[in-house]
Amino acid sequence: MTRRATPPDVGSPADRAAGIVAELRRQHSPRDVEGQRRFGITPETEHLGLPMATLRAMGKRHRCDHALAQALWAFPVHEARMAAIFVADPKVLTAAEARTWARDFDNWALVDGCCLHLLRKTSFAWTLGKSWRRQRALFVRRAGFVLAATLAVHDKARADADFVEVLRDCERAATDERNFVAKAVNWALRQIGKRSAGLRVDAIATAERILALESRSARWIARDALRELRAGG
């Protein structure tokens, strides 16, 4: 007798997660894995190559089922963790748990997805981002700046003075020659500069100071940001 897969809405979180991962594995596409890897999505875990639309749809079916999200994240499968981002409940997720998940950050897509779709909605996003921007680990540091860029757009109540502090972090990190950090610093600098007229002035001044630094990364960050900010983009 053939054993049926556990339905996604029946059983323990671990059993349901196992059923979802089995469903994801059935859609494995080696061609799409290679395509994603060409864009720098190179997880250290199992990689199935599924499109974001598939993972979003999975999350929509199980939204805010935090126990299921925890069980999905426990699988060393890139798409399971990406799905967990859409399933998790930002009101239940704790800062300690977010820090634990951050230890598994191993590619920019997982980092950016987690920041854009989950972490920015938490009550501790600001303090977490501040801490992460000052850490050395590649993808944790990237997450700190991606959170800043995201909050510059979505945190409407935050005072501009708080973002001036982030600009100082951008200046300190601008000489980090790692591409995934440099791009995140640039993103934060540009988004903060577009938040308000006052912050645009501050961001341009920050970018001009960064431009003077003896660093290839710093020069790219500054020139790219200045081109957009001076054009009023």
Give the confidence band of 20 by pLDDT, cuts at 50, 70, 90. very high
Residue 5 has pLDDT above 50, yes or no: no
Give the confidence band of 96 by pLDDT, cuts at 50, 70, 90. very high
The mean per-residue pLDDT over the stretch 15-35 comes to 96
* Rounded Cα–Cα distance for residues 153 and 128 (Å): 17
Residues of the chain with CATH 1.25.40: 107-233
Give the confidence band of 233 by pLDDT, cuts at 50, 70, 90. low
Q: Say if domain 107-233 classifies as CATH 1.20.1300.
A: no
The model's pTM: 0.92
Backbone angles phi, psi at 132, to 5 degrees: -70, -35
pLDDT score at 142? 98
Give percent above pLDDT 70 in the chain: 95
DSSP string, 98-133: HHHHHTT--SHHHHHHHHHHTGGGSTTHHHHHHHHH
Q: How far is CA 231 from the centre of its chain?
A: 27
Give percent above pLDDT 90 in the chain: 93
pLDDT score at 119? 98
Give the confidence band of 9 by pLDDT, cuts at 50, 70, 90. low
Give the confidence band of 229 by pLDDT, cuts at 50, 70, 90. very high
- The residue among 45 and 5 whose pLDDT is bigger is 45
DSSP-assigned letter for residue 158:
S
Asked whether the beta carbons of 137 and 159 are under 8 A apart, the reply is no
Q: How far is CA 106 from the centre of its chain?
A: 11
List C-alpha distances in Å: 17 to 52, 93, 99, 182: 18, 18, 21, 35
Bridge partner residues of 209 (DSSP): none
**Beta carbons within 10 angstroms of residue 60's beta carbon:** 10
**Beta carbons within 10 angstroms of residue 45's beta carbon:** 16
**Per-residue tokens: 198:** 């006052």
pLDDT score at 232? 77
Residue 30 has pLDDT above 60, yes or no: yes
Mean pLDDT of the chain: 94
